């Protein structure tokens, strides 16, 4: 019976490597998105002298939005791989946050990135307010506020969990020292 249990545990642990398929897919999506970014940038560059100020701001916001989405993809790929599959080897070019993002802090960073991306979209809507019906503006604002509130609640819950974990560690160290 113990051999069967050990076999099942090994299969379950080995199955985490299936996640690599998803991370490679995100890498491919990032490459496609990079091609899309280059096309957007080329369009902006060729029209730079024909855009008025608000069109230029919208074009720059679009490029910033693309950079935020790309950064979000990289953050999810790297930290998820580290958290769920395997640690990166010592000799790799380490990013300062590599190995420091647990699933809780990753969720907060993702939520913060979504709020930033949503902010840019909302700003684009407000800069083109004449092109959008009032109900679209209202729903865009409500959706953004929902993202903001969700991110704040996620941060609050994560902070509460950290304090709970801290107090448990503190209680355990006090009882061990007694």
- HEC letters along the chain: CHHHHHHHHHHHHHHHHHHHHHHHHHHHHHHHHHHHHHHHHHHHHHHCCCCCHHHHHHHHHHHHHHHHHHHHHHHHHHHHHHHHCCCCCCCCCCCCCCCCCCHHHHHHHHHHHHHHHHHHHHHHHHHCHHHCCHHHHHHHHHHHHHHHHHHHHHHHHHHHHHHHHHHHHHHHHHHHHC
- The verdict on 110 and 177 lying in the same domain is yes
- The verdict on 106 and 178 lying in the same domain is yes
Residue 57 lies in a domain: yes
Return the pLDDT at 161: 84
- The verdict on 62 and 109 lying in the same domain is no
Do residues 105 and 58 make contact, with C-beta atoms less than 8 angstroms apart? no
| Total number of domains constituting the chain | 2
Residue 164 lies in a domain: yes
Per the structure block, which two tokens stand in for 105?
């802090």
- What is the rounded CA–CA span in Å between residue 37 and residue 8? 45
- The verdict on 84 and 112 lying in the same domain is no
Is the pTM here over 0.85, yes or no? Answer: no
Burial label for 105, CB within 10 Å (0-12, 13-18, 19+), is middle
- Full domain range(s) for residue 115: 102-178
Residue 97 lies in a domain: no
Per the structure block, which two tokens stand in for 159?
């902070």
Do residues 58 and 127 make contact, with C-beta atoms less than 8 angstroms apart? yes
Return the pLDDT at 175: 56
Residue 93 lies in a domain: no
Domain end: 88, 118, 148, which one? 88
- What is the rounded CA–CA span in Å between residue 41 and residue 44? 5
- What is the rounded CA–CA span in Å between residue 167 and residue 172? 8
In this prediction, the residues of the chain whose per-residue pLDDT falls under 70 are 89-102, 169-178
Residue 42 lies in a domain: yes
- The verdict on 59 and 122 lying in the same domain is no
Return the pLDDT at 51: 87
The position carrying tokens 């993702």 is: 110
- The verdict on 20 and 79 lying in the same domain is yes
- The verdict on 79 and 116 lying in the same domain is no
- The verdict on 75 and 115 lying in the same domain is no
Return the pLDDT at 144: 93
Return the pLDDT at 138: 93
């Amino acid at each position: 019976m113990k051999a069967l249990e050990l076999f099942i545990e090994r299969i379950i642990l080995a199955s985490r490597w299936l996640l690599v398929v998803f991370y490679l897919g995100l890498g491919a999506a990032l490459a496609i998105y990079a091609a899309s970014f280059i096309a957007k940038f080329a369009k902006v560059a060729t029209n730079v002298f024909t855009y008025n100020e608000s069109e230029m701001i919208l074009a720059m916001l679009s490029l910033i939005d693309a950079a935020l989405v790309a950064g979000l993809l990289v953050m999810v790929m790297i930290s998820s791989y580290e958290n769920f599959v395997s640690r990166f080897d010592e000799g790799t070019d380490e990013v300062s946050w590599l190995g420091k993002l647990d699933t809780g802090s990753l969720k907060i960073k993702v939520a913060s990135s979504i709020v930033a991306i949503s902010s840019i979209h909302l700003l684009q809507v407000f800069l083109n307010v004449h092109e959008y019906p009032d109900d679209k503006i209202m729903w865009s604002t409500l959706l953004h506020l929902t993202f903001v509130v969700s991110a704040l609640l996620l941060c609050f819950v994560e902070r509460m969990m950290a304090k709970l974990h801290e107090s448990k560690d503190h209680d355990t160290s006090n009882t061990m020292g007694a």
